Structure 1
Amino acid sequence: MCWGFLYGCVQAVFYFNTWQFYSSLIFLIVLCCYFKPILNLLLAFIFAIFVVTIHFSLFYSYQFENTIDNGPAEITAKVAKVISNPPNSLSLIEIHELDGKSVPFYQTVHAQLSKDDDQYIFETGDLLVLKVKLRKFRSRMNRHSFDVEKYAFRNKLHFKGKVIEVIKHEKSSLELRQSYKQELVKVFENKNLGWLYYGLSTGDKSKVLAETKNQVIQLGIGHILAISGMHVGIVFLLCFSLAKIIVWFLLKIKANITLQGLNLNYFYCAFSLFIAFIYIYLCEFPVSALRAWFMAAIYSLIYFLHKKVSLPQTLTYTLSAILLIDPFSILDPGLFLSFVGFTTVVLVLKWTASNRLLSNSFLRLCLIQLSLMITLAPLSLMYFQGVSIAGLVVNLVLIPLLSFVIFPYLIACILLAGLFPNTDFLYVDDLLFFAFQYVTQNYLDVAWLAGPQLPSILVVLIYFCIAMLFSSFLRRFLLIPTITLASYFLVPRPLWQVDFFDVGHGTSVLVTSDKQAFLYDLGAKYFNYYSLFERVVLPEIKARDLNLKYTIISHPDKDHAGGIDELKQFDNFGSLAIFHNQQPFSFCQLKSISLGNVSIETIWPIDDMQSDNNNSCVVKLQGKGGSVLLTGDVEIDAEQRLVHEYDELLHSDILLVPHHGSKTSSSSSFLEAVKPTYGIVSRNYYSAWSLPHSEVIDRYASRQIKLIDTALSGQITIEFYQDGYHIKRLREENLFWLKHHTGF
């Protein structure tokens, strides 16, 4: 039954309303007709679909009036979190009432609101009545960037918008979790490693700087940034020991107390489970911690009932319980990292227990770390594009430190904060900070082995093969996933590829062939720090292990050249040498070069047209399978000159729609000369200029040119093969539930 439920959850969450989902259901129904034992599997599969659907309807979906897009709305809300303070004030608020309609008690509806007025400073827990301009939450979608919309789905973030007027602002008493976090901020704010202590105590990573986070991941100790199973295990064991000490102390001072005949292990386990549950409650139930708690509870129950349950059964029961509570927790990477890590540790301990050569505790710990590095490597490559080599050594030191030094230190700091504020007991903080600085300054360069990002299907196949090796029954079928895994590498790869990134109002296009890359424009940069080159383009380059050989900046507009500082930091303008002579805002030089299987030819500007837009660098890409014309922001004047100079040579299969679809571009004569099959529009979903313009849309439609829009399709990938090309739209790959959560 549990296997059917788990399989149903996977199919319903990841493949609902796809051919994979329906074929799985039909396959089980057909099997059920011939093998009656399959009936239980089918019933559990159907029950999983019911659980997923009910969870989505009750807790993740919120029906609201579409009038929010037409004008201001009035909301009653509570501040859930202050993301940033003035001058760029941004808050996460929990909506209780929207335009007079109350949010059901069982639902959580969040909105991310910006505020220009500094008259009111919001704090966590404040009660508000606001007039706001709300929009359904929508973000950019790129293959190797952080999936903001999946994050919004998991955190029930339905809207984003702007505060127009503060009608009412009241201070309110904080909830238990918020009070707990606020007090711990005061306890650890003056500590060198305050971000670590606060994170371990609350599960909140907001105090960790991005640079520090990367350092921790590269050292292979990223698990300290989240409340993992190890932390819950440490808390459980500490509480178990504390309970035994309390009982021993009571027996010493009360000699007349007799506990003979009582199994005190019941009390020890119940006390430990209760405190561990309080701990993960205060940390907002991270999925890896929930896994550990259920494991501890199941093992305790098994122990007291004198039952024998195998490791696969325990894992199955635990995972089923977690997915029954929230089936969408399967979207959390921590779930997979936690289960794979735990399974590895248990299997190694079981294997070494009967091996005298490996009975030494230190050798077993070394073997566990080596095994974890190997078994977690596919997941590490998928999520972080690399594997930590240093983690093998660092964790040998860190795990005992967490158990016997750091957690007791945290408890001492919290319990004695009132008597000894800002006290560094035994100089633990100073010593740990010195050690952390020493390791990051001297060994960080050799700590991380970078690699390409593995696709999820490949990771699943790898773990299937590993799992089947440990089952004598399944081992005979090992050839099936092995052949599937081998066939993955035999699938024809494109000769060259063009990616039009979803960068909102702006442009960034990456051309690749044979691991070499050419970049056309950098996208925008917001608030002088949020660079789309850094957030979108660089992750793509690193995930695919590409070498950026050439870069062209079409013209100096901020939506095309916003990431110039980050490009300099990345390659010191080395990729600008060929077309810009390392001068980023100079006209691109007219020349033709090859990049693997594609030729890159710059054909414009021929001379200065006294306009940044009309001086945009125009590039023709030509290779086997098709051609692409990249146009920047050229307008009608430049288009006419291009037609006069090149005419039929402009003909291309794919056209980057000039100037994001503005009516001052895409002239009839230009479209007649290019004769594209597809036009790619790079623009923002909520466009202030209502792009693409209706007249432009009509011009393309009248010529049967199909428009593909990054705002609607996300990142657009065009793969060129020997005899043609294939277009991929990233949003089409999005999960059914994410599409319906945002309403798009």
Structure 2
Amino acid sequence: MDRWLSSFLIGALLSLFLPIVPSLFYVLLFTLLSLIVGIFLTNKSLACFCLGIAWLLYHGAQYEDIWQNNNISTELLHKASYTVIGEVLSIPQIKKKTQRFNFSITQFSGQVLNQPINVRLSWKSHKNGLKQGQKWRLKIKIKPAHGFANEGGFHYQTWLRQHNIHATGYVIKGVESSTSKVSVRQRLYEHYQSLLPTHQNNALLLALTFGLKHQISEAQWQVLNATAAQHLIAISGLHLGVVAMLSYGFSKLILRLLSLIVLSSSRISKTLTVSSQVLFITLLTLIFVTSYAYIAGFSQPTIRAAIMLIILWCAKLLATKFTATRLILLTMFMVVLFSPFSLLSASFWLSISAVSTILLFIWRYKKHVKSDHNSIFTRYFHVVLYALSFQGFLIFTLLPLTSSMQYQVSLVAIFANIIAVPWVSLVCVPLTLFSVIASVINETSATVLISLAQLSLTVLWQWLDGVAKLSWASVSIDHTTWLTLSVLVVVSVILLLVTFQKRIFIYSVCGVSLMLTGFAYVNNKPSRNSVWLVDILDVGQGLSVVIRTNEQTIVYDTGATYPSGFSMAKSVIKPYLNYEGISIIDLLIISHDDNDHASGQAFLETHLQVNELMFNHKKQYTSCLIGEIKKIGRLTFEVLHPTERQADHNDDSCVVRISDDKFSVLLTGDISKKVEQALVDNYREKLNSDVLVAPHHGSKTSSSQSFIQAVSPKQVVFSAGFLNRWNMPHQDVVRRYHQFNIKTYTTATHGRVRVIVSPEDYQMQTYREAHWPFWFAN
């Protein structure tokens, strides 16, 4: 059975990386292969493997075909507003007078849908307040699910697919349906929130009770990241395990009381058999666990933990013993069966890895738990040492997964979690849960328990905050270091599982593998001494370009910042630089003062070392005026515009030509045809470039024919937002470039666009095609 489950899971996982777009044809193909292999070749493992592929591709096809199945064209979807009817699926997250929520559409422009379409919406300044479970008639504007595509950044498009969300957008106006009903979870949340006194840790309390983390501040996240304690406030197996233990003890208490009550009645006493007691305990525990999972919004971590607990209790009821391997495989199988896209979730792999690590540690070192020492001090010393070893082993084993999210390694994780984990498990979680239960029964008791829960969280936070303030609490790593750490962890875990005689062979194999990996990496990675790179990042409707040569980094523009607080500098540029191991910007050039070009300047200066800022906005900055030339490494940066020190308008954009005397890239900001013509008239001989970053994102007010002819690029890159309201790049402009046989790239379609320049030639590379070309991410 283990082999069949493993084969199914491997097939499901590998299907994510097939170079195809999921469709019904491939689903039928792999299903047919599964039947043929299973019946005629009697190879059940291979049949399960094909079945796993078919299962994931089926759900992939269902997601891809949702618009077609409802007869809705995605090509014109963003160009109009639509009236829809549906249900609010989540408790709305309110931030800066904007509500964000998931909505299930059942009627679209008067048409009853064949399949509901789930969308994620925002609604600004809505006073009445949306509530989970309500039905609404909304007028909305939406786009198909999409996300930015850059190294190191959050894969929003994958996250949307994982949560079965097909589109994103915003609400123009809406009316609540007369048949609307508010969910029990929403009512409980509102009542509980009304009982909360003002406290700095209320956000943590709501995260532990209702699984809502949107109120956690940036400063709190920084502490959690620095101490690797994020898992403590994300309701998962740890929290449901505590609930299961509490409910188990409560069930035993009830049985004890019942046994005392019915002790005098032999007829009733006989009914309390061992099997009936086990059944009672199991059912009550499952009720409590399921209730907590419901309150937490049936998030995927809670569902995974609940499935594992259900499997364990079913095994107990059926008097069946599962090996650790079978328990993990069965849990993974059931999760993939009910939520196939869980395979895309980092939290899924963290949960499975954590459970596997715990079981592995217990199996490998269980003999160290037992101690023959008579001294109480010695016994306690061994218990503490075992606990420290366990925590260290768990953190070390999970390092490849935990460090891949922020490219940050916590050096104080062991010290932080050795105190925090038992404190949260034994104090914080019970108090928060009891406070929620009491809020339904007695408000006075609930207020007391809430105060105790807040006090417990204050103690927790003082510990975590104190540890996080240590100067050596965490270190940032780049992708190469992460790969090295991952190999080290995998090798170390393998060595723990084998005997001493086999280790010499494994050492040899791993050594050779590491050498080959190193050689391959060095050969494939562009040498910094002989290559310079230009990355046009995918920052939506805005611009940010990163140029790297030798050990130096130049950034041209910083993308937009939005009223919600979302910043391209924070969400795209900084993660990209972390991924590449860059902490110093040698030169930051801001073309002009528009939000979509300049608003990330302050963030980058705060969080990175910026050696020089070239910006015409203020006199204390280095000017960016015509004729100025900077030599950085082997590159020459020559400014071709403007003539006056201004930065207020598009035509004030700083136009820079980057050249190594053989190949060149032209950065143009937001200049219009007027400036283009002036450049053509006065500096035609300096405009010629191999790659052009199109003026003003491909607006029809730019990219004149004379300018294109003067630059004569072989490739042009449009930095523009996905299905943006300005329809950039304009189709007339794209056709104009095509008329001159110029290959076009758009960041909205291709993701990050990279120009790799070598002494002999240069090549273009895109993120979606070369780095992350998989169907689930595009």
Alignment TM-score, normalising by the size of structure 2: 0.83
Q: What residue in structure 2 maps to residue 736 of structure 1?
A: 775
Change in CA separation of 1:74 and 1:662 when aligned onto 2, cut-off 3 Å? closer
The one-letter code of the counterpart of 2:476 is A
- Where does 1:328-339 land on structure 2 (aligned, <5 Å)? 328-339=341-352
Change in CA separation of 1:91 and 1:189 when aligned onto 2, cut-off 3 Å? farther
Equivalent in 503, 514, 518 of residue 539 of structure 2: 503
Contact (CA 8 Å) 1:462, 1:485: kept in 2 or not? no
Equivalent in 118, 140, 153 of residue 109 of structure 1: 118
Change in CA separation of 1:194 and 1:502 when aligned onto 2, cut-off 3 Å? same
The one-letter code of the counterpart of 1:448 is S
CA distance in 2, matches of 1:588, 1:567: 23
1:296 aligns with 2:305: no
SS of match in other structure, 1:419: helix
Contact (CA 8 Å) 2:558, 2:601: kept in 1 or not? yes
Q: What residue in structure 2 maps to residue 450 of structure 1?
A: 476
- Where does 1:44-55 land on structure 2 (aligned, <5 Å)? 44-55=48-59
Change in CA separation of 1:442 and 1:455 when aligned onto 2, cut-off 3 Å? closer
Change in CA separation of 1:467 and 1:315 when aligned onto 2, cut-off 3 Å? farther
CA distance in 2, matches of 1:343, 1:404: 23
CA distance in 2, matches of 1:18, 1:170: 42
1:526 aligns with 2:562: yes
Equivalent in 423, 430, 438 of residue 448 of structure 2: 423
CA distance in 2, matches of 1:502, 1:643: 29
Q: What residue in structure 2 maps to residue 79 of structure 1?
A: 88
Deviations 1:166-219 (A, max 9, x none): 455547332233333333333446454222222122222123223212211211
Deviations 1:508-527 (A, max 9, x none): 11112345321001122222
The one-letter code of the counterpart of 1:258 is S
Change in CA separation of 1:215 and 1:305 when aligned onto 2, cut-off 3 Å? same
Q: What residue in structure 2 maps to residue 340 of structure 1?
A: 353
Contact (CA 8 Å) 2:189, 2:210: kept in 1 or not? yes
Contact (CA 8 Å) 2:716, 2:742: kept in 1 or not? yes
1:677 aligns with 2:720: no
Equivalent in 602, 615, 638 of residue 565 of structure 1: 602
Deviations 1:37-79 (A, max 9, x none): 8932321122112212333455675224226445442211233
Q: What residue in structure 1 maps to residue 20 of structure 2?
A: 17
SS of match in other structure, 2:666: strand
Change in CA separation of 1:353 and 1:194 when aligned onto 2, cut-off 3 Å? same
Deviation, structure 1 residue 385: 0.9
- Where does 1:124-523 land on structure 2 (aligned, <5 Å)? 124-166=132-174, 169-170=177-178, 172-188=180-196, 190-256=198-264, 258=269, 262-263=274-275, 264-302=277-315, 309-355=322-368, 360-417=382-439, 418-423=443-448, 427=452, 429-430=454-455, 432-437=457-462, 439-440=464-465, 443-444=468-469, 445-453=471-479, 465=491, 468-469=494-495, 485-486=517-518, 488-494=520-526, 495-523=531-559
Deviation, structure 1 residue 485: 4.2
SS of match in other structure, 1:555: coil
State the aligned residue count: 732
The one-letter code of the counterpart of 2:213 is K
1:97 aligns with 2:95: no
- Where does 1:703-718 land on structure 2 (aligned, <5 Å)? 703-718=740-755
Equivalent in 519, 539, 560 of residue 575 of structure 2: 539
Quick check: 338-347 or 454-463, which moved more?
A: 454-463
SS of match in other structure, 1:689: coil
SS of match in other structure, 1:704: coil
CA distance in 2, matches of 1:160, 1:464: 39
CA distance in 2, matches of 1:49, 1:157: 22
CA distance in 2, matches of 1:610, 1:346: 61
Deviation, structure 1 residue 428: 5.1
Contact (CA 8 Å) 2:541, 2:724: kept in 1 or not? yes
SS of match in other structure, 2:93: strand
CA distance in 2, matches of 1:656, 1:534: 23
SS of match in other structure, 2:586: strand
Deviations 1:468-495 (A, max 9, x none): 5456599878559656644553342122
Quick check: 569-578 or 150-159, which moved more?
A: 569-578
CA distance in 2, matches of 1:607, 1:577: 14
Deviations 1:120-151 (A, max 9, x none): 55444432223334433444433322222222
Change in CA separation of 1:537 and 1:405 when aligned onto 2, cut-off 3 Å? same
CA distance in 1, matches of 2:756, 2:393: 38
Deviation, structure 1 residue 703: 1.6
Contact (CA 8 Å) 1:617, 1:631: kept in 2 or not? yes
In structure 2, runs of 5+ residues without a counterpart are 372-378
Identity over the aligned pairs, expressed in percent?
Answer: 24
Deviation, structure 1 residue 10: 0.9
Quick check: 646-655 or 587-596, which moved more?
A: 587-596
Deviation, structure 1 residue 426: 7.8
CA distance in 2, matches of 1:584, 1:176: 57
The one-letter code of the counterpart of 2:544 is S
Contact (CA 8 Å) 1:551, 1:579: kept in 2 or not? no
Q: What residue in structure 1 maps to residue 7 of structure 2?
A: 4
Contact (CA 8 Å) 1:219, 1:388: kept in 2 or not? yes
Change in CA separation of 1:462 and 1:294 when aligned onto 2, cut-off 3 Å? farther
Change in CA separation of 1:580 and 1:183 when aligned onto 2, cut-off 3 Å? closer
The one-letter code of the counterpart of 2:304 is R
Change in CA separation of 1:650 and 1:181 when aligned onto 2, cut-off 3 Å? same
Deviation, structure 1 residue 243: 1.5
Contact (CA 8 Å) 1:554, 1:588: kept in 2 or not? no
Deviation, structure 1 residue 108: 5.1
Contact (CA 8 Å) 1:587, 1:617: kept in 2 or not? yes
Deviation, structure 1 residue 679: 0.5
CA distance in 1, matches of 2:234, 2:513: 33
The one-letter code of the counterpart of 1:204 is L
Quick check: 719-728 or 533-542, which moved more?
A: 719-728
Deviations 1:597-638 (A, max 9, x none): 544333433556998434322222234984211111233443
Change in CA separation of 1:69 and 1:493 when aligned onto 2, cut-off 3 Å? closer
Change in CA separation of 1:528 and 1:302 when aligned onto 2, cut-off 3 Å? closer
The one-letter code of the counterpart of 2:261 is I
Change in CA separation of 1:311 and 1:439 when aligned onto 2, cut-off 3 Å? closer
Contact (CA 8 Å) 1:8, 1:45: kept in 2 or not? yes
SS of match in other structure, 1:537: helix
1:548 aligns with 2:573: no
Deviation, structure 1 residue 680: 0.7
The one-letter code of the counterpart of 1:52 is L
Contact (CA 8 Å) 1:382, 1:455: kept in 2 or not? no
- Where does 1:607-686 land on structure 2 (aligned, <5 Å)? 612-623=649-660, 626-686=663-723
Deviation, structure 1 residue 324: 1.4
Change in CA separation of 1:89 and 1:180 when aligned onto 2, cut-off 3 Å? closer
- Taking only aligned residues, the RMSD between alpha carbons, in angstroms, comes to 3.9
Quick check: 645-654 or 404-413, which moved more?
A: 645-654
Change in CA separation of 1:224 and 1:693 when aligned onto 2, cut-off 3 Å? same
Change in CA separation of 1:278 and 1:357 when aligned onto 2, cut-off 3 Å? closer
Change in CA separation of 1:153 and 1:636 when aligned onto 2, cut-off 3 Å? same
Q: What residue in structure 2 maps to residue 742 of structure 1?
A: none
